[in-house]
Structure 1
Amino acid sequence: MYSGFPSGLFVDDVSADSSAEFPDRASMMEVRLQAQEDEITLLKSSLADALRRIRLHDQLLPLLKQQLISGPASVGCTGTRPTRIHCQCLSARHHRTPSEVLCPCPDEPELFWQHEGDLHDIREVPQMLDQIGIWGVCGPGQHLGLFVVFLGPFVSSFCGQSIKMFIRGRPITMYIPSNIQNYEDLKMEPPSERLELDWVYGYRGRDCRANLYFLPTGEAVYFIACVIVLYHINNRTQRHYRKHTDCVRCLTLHPDKVRVASGQTAGVDKDGKPLQPCVHIWDSTSLVTLQQIAFLCVIDDSNEHMLSVWDCNKGTKHAEIKSTNEAVFAVEFNPSDSTNIITCGKSHVYFWTLSAGQFTKKQGIFGKYKKPKFIQCFVFSLTGDVLTGDSEGNILTWGKSAADIKTLGKGAKETFQIMRQTRAHEGSVFTLCTLQGGALLSGGGKDRKIIRWSADLAPERECEIPEKFGAVRTIADVDGEELLVGTTRNAVLRGTFSDGFVAIVQGHVDEMWGLATHPSQNIFLTCGHDRQVCLWNTEEHKLDWCISLEYGLCADFCPNGSVVSVGLSTGRWMVLDLLTREVVSESTDGNEQLSVMRYSPDGSFLAVGSHDNFIYIYNVTESGRRYTRFGKCNGHSSFITHLDWSKDGKYIMSNSGDYEILYWDIAAGCKLLRNRFESKDREWASYTCVLGFHVMGVWLEGSDGTDINALCRSHSERVVAVADDFCKVHLFQYPCPKPKAPSHKYEGHGSHVTNVCFTHSDSHLLSMGGKDMCILQWKVIGGGGMVDSRERLASGSSTSTSSPEPATS
């Protein structure tokens, strides 16, 4: 048994002839420009911090050497007062000279240092000063405890009242809450809660083709990100094949309608080393991975587009050859002659013969017909002819013809030529689908039409899909009358020529960032670079409504649940009524993109975080429909990334692009709290800031500060979910204030995970991919009794244990 395997490893915008793609390209360039500007800002901040540290190190090193050599301190309690050692306390904003009294401790400290688990006398320090950084930290009590743990770019140091972590060389001080008696004895465990994939929103149709099939089980099979979805079109249920570890780019169905082959793109491992692309063959009934197809034909996406045939029973490569340097769009075995393989792509149709492990190639001859720029697709007719669809809107019928001895000379062989040209669509023919009895379906790009043709290519019926869904990407036959249609705007439609088509699967068509869940209903809102703001229902797993705005980058629901605010890329933000979808309020703060919107717990204030380094505070009245400027938080030296309100609605904690943690007294007029120690016991209504004592353990060893895009604490305050830059979703115990905290890790996204958010009841977690345009809905399972996070910290600090290694699931 032979099965063809459409390559799918290509970028479709090379073949899109619609002018509608030019705004998309311009939008992509704007996004890239903004990302580059953000990176430049971070680089400037890191460079300035590095230069500051170098200058400080040069000034401090000789003096410390002199003091340490002339006045050594003993280790332990000796009963005598040791020689006083001046300590240098460093922060991001204030530096003190060694002549100042820098240790506020009431008692004279005894100084020691710990390296790799061993205690050393301070007199050993001079020999090590050239190898380690000098960071002095102070705390009350008899000893000045200085613990330094070297973790590459990520370093944490602990003293009596605070702990520091270092990102890109920048020290970040976090004060330990009063209820923790012994930080070193805190016990970190993976949470008892786990995640289970419940639903996948979206379909990848924008840049892939031939990726939608209908199974005898009543399920449509398609892919997005790293997940292959089997969606029952009548029962509206999903199953998922999840063995892929990177983005799936191609899919084919065996003639037995049970076995499926799916290919994933070549990616990189966690160290950046390239990985090989791979193909999985699996049973669509049991979702078990198999290798029971005799031969499988694959074309990779290398420069030579290697054509290979695999003996899957043996797991060996049967034959391989370079096909072409041009883009290849499809490959298929001839169903009537298993030694013949056809490929098509940019300006070519090749007819391959496989014999004794060797390929021979014949190129289709266009002759008197205009050679199209792209051959997009092909199928086999009942008579054995090959029908191709091209970028000129034609269906070409190819057949064998006898050798032209007069033209080609004696010994010329038979050729494959165009037997007939049929005008089909305005613009490209994106897909062809054969029906039982020999009828043919074609799908158009620019005209968005689906046309049914008789066996002799006479048009019989046609319909046009709505413009909002884009062009026809692929067609799957359900029962000869009903059809499934995949579109270029990432939707799957279901319908007939008589009744029209409705969407059964929808998704975003560009990178997503904004995510918010409703405070009391099972709905959530998303927005992104495709200028779409979408409201989804987590129970019915469907899109409730979608409207067009500018680039949406952040959002938040008002606590009363009647309106939602959306922050845009231009500094504008809008407030939408959930029922009418109308804009009830609109304002502009600066001219840079907004990164976070957050209502206070009682809904009386709205905080707007911007890339202009300010947080704008608004009074909210009339049930979220009226907004007046209350004040502005000015103090960050880089763009705002995250912020949270205190439970009493009086204070804000915020993070910025240069890794600052600042606290603000909003009730006192948006005043910056200089003494961050006073905020260590404050309780927060939400926890989305990626930097803070309670979430310090979510940062992995070697993190550079951009590895975590978002996090969200559950409403029960038991767990925290993390979205990282490596396509993973993590679930940690909350709080997790110690490095190397263990977690459960989940795969499924094929791009950086941009956001995560729990539903109002904590029954589900939503995660959102960036470039994969995928929303995953996870069911939260497990988790015994309710334990307050403060009790967990207090009880954990009384038991001594070492943190286990991170757990993955």
Structure 2
Amino acid sequence: MADDTVSASSNMDMEDRVSHLEQRLQLQEDEIQLLKAALADALRRLGYCEEHNQGMQPGGSHAGRRPLATTGSAAPTKVRQLLQALPSRPLSNGYVQQKRLLSSPSSPKKEVLQSIKRKSMSTEQLTLVRREMAAESRSRTTSSSSSSGGKSKSKECTLNAEDGYVRMFLRGRPVTMHIPDQQRESYSIDQKVALPDHKLKLQWVYGYRGRDCRSNLYLLPTGEIVYFNASVVVLYNTEEQQQRHYLGHNDDVKCLSVHPDMVTIATGQVAGNSKDGKLLAPHVRVWDSVSLNTLHVLGMGVFDRAVTCVAFSKSNGGTFLCAVDDANDHILSVWNWQKEKQLADVKCSNDSVLAAVFHPMDTNLIVTCGKSHINFWTMEGNTLTKRQGLFEKHEKPKYVLCVAFAENGDAITGDSSGNIYIWAKGGNRISQVVSGAHEGGIFSVCVLKDGTMVSGGGKDRKVVLWDHDYRKQSEMEVGDSFGPVRALAEGKPGELFIGTTKNAIIRAAFPDTLTPIVQGHTDELWGLDIHPSMEQFVTCSQDKQVHLWDTNSHQPLWSKTIEDPGRSAGFHPSGAVLAVGTMTGRWLVLDTDTRDLVSMHTDGNEIISNVKYSPDGNFLAVASHDNFVYIYAVTENGRKYSRVGKCTGHSSFVTHLDWSKDSKYLVTNSGDYEILFWEASNGKHVTNMDTVRNLEWSTSTCTLAFNTFGIWPDGADGTDINAVCRSHDGSLLASADDFGKVHLFSFPCSQPRAPSLEYGGHSSHVTNVAFLHDNSHLISTGGKDTSILQWVVA
């Protein structure tokens, strides 16, 4: 398994290109679908006008005004033929379509990711492509969209005061939002909105990036362990249960090194794109772990793709720093980091480079390793000279996975075949072999202060202690739920910290003490909901894990493996049960105390994007990517379910939904920017806006609504914002966007392009946000970065 994981990266370039083309093709198909819908509306209106004119002629009958969605028999034959071949759906909100056309396979770009078996790019490259496409789409939208006629204009947004609605445009499509009667007289589209009275401060980062990074776990003299997740470097004091955070990066952090002074830290990041399409260059940041101040920034405009290896020199007081760029040539560069001056660089390897470290006794010697190689580099002036490691009679591994140094200066490597090789100091030949040290790959080797060594295995998940002569002394096995060993760090005497490929960190001691201190998800994360009365929240992910978290201990109260990838979650108002929606159309109900399965149902075979109980707990709405919302009556305190309605009317997948406070109505958004209303008792579509205009809503999670539409920035393409949530006191609104940002607005947010406070930390699209029941904290979830961030509302 370890070999497969590493070898996949060697084919990354071809997969990148294929995935890039697939993403662009999907985006183009989506744009064509939207153009068809716009053309359909134009043809429909033309047909109606011709019918109307014929009805007004002598001998004709005028039936009066009717919805444009209806095509009469008097419409011209050519128009009828075109209409039959195009989406039968008006662009304004409120009418039910004649047939369903758009479903999730033709949804906006990020739904390309719904097939979890499909080959994809690495996280940072996928994020880069997503952002490039979003920037291009916004550019097209900005240049082509124009405001429609109205009585008051504000660029692309218009107000019709007479009929009481605001109309905005997303990708050229009009979205109509009706103003409550009590605000119609006072509402002005040009009114200035103040920034929120509160701010967010990052308090806790859940998870660790072990799935695809190495050598990224260290213990500092302060008693803190340092590691990273998403774009945040975490300094976690395990005794005091406190975290501090370095927030200098603006995209995925991929590597970390601690200076010999044990205070200065270097971290490297990937390339990316900002929301305005500007390049976020990969670089190395050198910073102070006490003050968290950035000291130096290296390599802006020098690195190409991502900095995947970084290390300080040891023997000269840490004056030099080496780094490896994950570009095609895997350039190894050496820097005087205090002067921010590059001293030398060289093409390191055609294949992946997994580690680069300075020799602890020779400032001018650097060791790199990776696919089928280990190289010893000597630096003379601005030149790096390579000597290849010679395996001679010994088995040459497919990958040399890690390197460390013994007290006497010998290099120690672990490889994909499970062997440990010792390379004599100053040479490039093997002097000693420990064959079959592990079953499968050895991802980490750590030499302890007393000169003994520990090694961590992939396939066998074992941590082995070796004496000075490389004889096995003891071993322990990490549980399968935590995954193979990825990184090892020495803690206090007799203590180890183990980072795993399932994004966990474990405090361990021989012979068999293993205590998880950091846990997280391992695949794309969307599902989030808050306990109605306790400091708890639930998450579910495509890794098929459901976690119930405690916000005080920052640990899962329980975890449960389900059969299908998870997508959405929702608590019953009593807190006794919670519903989980999956990627396959199945949804299930779990007991919150025991995690036992209470009920399981299937509606369609597509993504269940939302599961939400009514405020009185008597109904459950299940929103699907098959364009329907299924309504269930709930009895026996959330333990019995019977379907009472099916909301039929959306022409694209359902994205968000909210319940009215009286539990009688639902409002939903869809992938083609519709806003539709429904009766809860039977799923009947409500077309009379006077019925729902003045309703009070229990939650505000719909991104398209009168009280939330101000979250949309200029040129938004309709997929830039993934989630929104109102605080329970009705004063704040938080949004999650595609560019790794959480935004905080004042509520209501009913003015175009409302001002907000912006917070970074995630490195992928932020998929969800939710306030705790007492509004004291905000929880946000990352998609591809799989992280959960807990923010204090101050």
Per the normalisation by structure 2, the TM-score is 0.81
Match of 2:434, SS? strand
Q: Is 1:641 paired with 2:655? A: yes
Q: 1:183 aligns with which of 180, 183, 187?
A: 187
Q: 1:323 aligns with which of 348, 351, 355?
A: 348
* Partner residue in 2 for 1:139: none
**Aligned residues of 1:435 and 1:480 also touching (Cα < 8 A):** no
Which one-letter code corresponds to 2:755 in the other structure? Answer: P
* Partner residue in 2 for 1:346: 371
* Partner residue in 1 for 2:34: 46
- CA distance change for structure 1 residues 582 and 436 in 2, over 3 Å: closer, same or farther? same
* Partner residue in 2 for 1:301: 326
**Aligned residues of 2:628 and 2:649 also touching (Cα < 8 A):** yes
- CA distance change for structure 1 residues 53 and 586 in 2, over 3 Å: closer, same or farther? closer
Match of 1:460, SS? strand
Q: Report the Cα distance in structure 2 between the residues aligned to 1:473 and 1:149, rounded to whole angstroms.
A: 54
Q: Is 1:737 paired with 2:762? A: no
Match of 1:52, SS? helix
Q: Is 1:283 paired with 2:288? A: yes
Q: Report the Cα distance in structure 2 between the residues aligned to 1:503 and 1:17, rounded to whole angstroms.
A: 29
Q: Is 1:702 paired with 2:715? A: yes
**Aligned residues of 1:175 and 1:677 also touching (Cα < 8 A):** no
Q: Is 1:257 paired with 2:257? A: no
Bigger drift between 224-233 and 670-679 goes to 670-679
* Partner residue in 2 for 1:220: 225
Q: 1:271 aligns with which of 264, 276, 279?
A: 276
Match of 2:610, SS? strand
Q: Report the Cα distance in structure 1 between the residues aligned to 2:28 and 2:596, rounded to whole angstroms.
A: 38
Q: Report the Cα distance in structure 2 between the residues aligned to 1:40 and 1:622, rounded to whole angstroms.
A: 48
Residues 497-526 of structure 1: CA deviation (Å, up to 9, x unaligned): 134211000000000111010000010000
* Partner residue in 2 for 1:627: 641
Q: Report the Cα distance in structure 2 between the residues aligned to 1:471 and 1:93, rounded to whole angstroms.
A: 57
How do residues 157-196 of structure 1 correspond to structure 2 at under 5 angstroms?
Answer: 157-160=159-162, 161-180=164-183, 181-184=185-188, 186-196=191-201
* Partner residue in 1 for 2:82: none
Match of 1:450, SS? strand
**Aligned residues of 2:256 and 2:266 also touching (Cα < 8 A):** yes
Bigger drift between 581-590 and 426-435 goes to 581-590
Match of 1:502, SS? strand
Residues 84-105 of structure 1: CA deviation (Å, up to 9, x unaligned): xxxxx9988479999xxxxxxx
How do residues 476-625 of structure 1 correspond to structure 2 at under 5 angstroms?
Answer: 476-549=489-562, 550-625=564-639
Q: 1:670 aligns with which of 675, 683, 686?
A: 683
How far does residue 383 in structure 1 lie from its aligned partner after superposition? 1.6
Which one-letter code corresponds to 1:47 in the other structure? Answer: L
Gaps of 5+ in 2: 10-15, 51-64, 76-143, 297-316
* Partner residue in 1 for 2:104: none
Residues 380-415 of structure 1: CA deviation (Å, up to 9, x unaligned): 1122111111101011111268xxxxxxxxxxxxx6
- CA distance change for structure 1 residues 224 and 284 in 2, over 3 Å: closer, same or farther? same
- CA distance change for structure 1 residues 283 and 90 in 2, over 3 Å: closer, same or farther? farther
Q: Report the Cα distance in structure 2 between the residues aligned to 1:531 and 1:38, rounded to whole angstroms.
A: 26
Q: Report the Cα distance in structure 1 between the residues aligned to 2:294 and 2:701, rounded to whole angstroms.
A: 39
How far does residue 618 in structure 1 lie from its aligned partner after superposition? 0.9
Q: Report the Cα distance in structure 1 between the residues aligned to 2:22 and 2:615, rounded to whole angstroms.
A: 32
**Aligned residues of 2:524 and 2:785 also touching (Cα < 8 A):** yes
Match of 2:181, SS? coil
Which one-letter code corresponds to 2:382 in the other structure? Answer: G
Q: Report the Cα distance in structure 2 between the residues aligned to 1:620 and 1:609, rounded to whole angstroms.
A: 16
How do residues 400-419 of structure 1 correspond to structure 2 at under 5 angstroms?
Answer: 416-419=428-431
Which one-letter code corresponds to 1:163 in the other structure? Answer: V
Residues 457-515 of structure 1: CA deviation (Å, up to 9, x unaligned): 11111111111111010110012411000001000000201342110000000001110
- CA distance change for structure 1 residues 303 and 657 in 2, over 3 Å: closer, same or farther? same
**Aligned residues of 2:2 and 2:440 also touching (Cα < 8 A):** no
- CA distance change for structure 1 residues 352 and 58 in 2, over 3 Å: closer, same or farther? farther
Match of 1:277, SS? coil
Match of 1:271, SS? coil
Residues 285-342 of structure 1: CA deviation (Å, up to 9, x unaligned): 2212224952111111111111111112211111111111110011111111101111
Matched positions, count? 680
* Partner residue in 1 for 2:789: 776
* Partner residue in 1 for 2:448: 435
Q: 1:368 aligns with which of 390, 393, 396?
A: 393
Q: Is 1:393 paired with 2:418? A: yes
**Aligned residues of 1:156 and 1:166 also touching (Cα < 8 A):** no
**Aligned residues of 2:506 and 2:516 also touching (Cα < 8 A):** yes
Gaps of 5+ in 1: 1-10, 22-27, 63-88, 99-130, 137-144, 402-414, 782-809
Q: Is 1:456 paired with 2:469? A: yes
**Aligned residues of 1:483 and 1:496 also touching (Cα < 8 A):** yes
* Partner residue in 1 for 2:338: 313
Q: Report the Cα distance in structure 2 between the residues aligned to 1:202 and 1:476, rounded to whole angstroms.
A: 17
Q: 1:751 aligns with which of 754, 757, 764?
A: 764
Residues 766-803 of structure 1: CA deviation (Å, up to 9, x unaligned): 0000000100001111xxxxxxxxxxxxxxxxxxxxxx
Bigger drift between 715-724 and 496-505 goes to 496-505
Q: Report the Cα distance in structure 2 between the residues aligned to 1:172 and 1:434, rounded to whole angstroms.
A: 62
Q: Is 1:356 paired with 2:381? A: yes
- What percent of counterpart residues are identical? 49
Match of 2:709, SS? helix
